[in-house]
Amino acid sequence: MNKMNDIQIIHSDDAPKAVGAYSQAMRHAGLLYTSGQIGLLPEKGELVGDDVESQALQVTKNLSAVLKAAGATVSDIIKVNIYLTDMGDFPLVNGIYADWLGEHRPARATVAVAALPLGAKVEIDLIARANN
């Protein structure tokens, strides 16, 4: 039976604070569900830059911090969703993503969207194994 106390909120001070009615991530039944991360600097709450490269690199740092807070690593990632405001950015973001994951290759979807919060160019969320 699903009970609310079976769900654990995950928070990392090394990732941007949630700015709305959501958590950075939730753990339930051995799985971690992250909220979407954009390229915000945790200490400032501002985008790291205007370019997709700096934003994508920051997104991977933010997600790594949330994974670490849950006792997980990139090798625990099962599924990833990438949202881009310009599919022309796909090759660059795909390269950053591949470097971040090393040899690990989770399931993934990449979609184009009309806009993202704060004018971000990329947002990523994921599901990972997190048994702790």
- Residue-wise pLDDT for 5-38, tens only, equals 699 999 999 999 987 899 999 999 999 999 999 9
Go through the domains of the chain in sequence order and give each one's CATH number.
4-129 (3.30.1330.40)
Question: What SS3 class is residue 69?
Answer: helix
Cα–Cα distances in Å, from 5 out to 32, 49, 103, 127?
A: 15, 39, 35, 20
Structure tokens at 128: 């990972």
Average pLDDT over residues 88-93: 98
4 has pLDDT over 80? no
pTM of the complete model: 0.94
Report the DSSP beta bridge partners of residue 84.
112, 122
Q: Dump pLDDT digits (tens) for 61-76.
A: 999 999 999 999 999 9
CA atoms of 79 and 71, how far apart (whole Å): 17
CA atoms within 13 A on the CB side of 75: 2
How many other C-beta atoms are found inside a 10 Å radius of the C-beta of residue 107? Answer: 11
- pLDDT at 2 (0 to 100): 41
Q: Are 55 and 120 in contact (CB under 8 A)?
A: yes
pLDDT-derived band at 132, boundaries 50, 70, 90: low
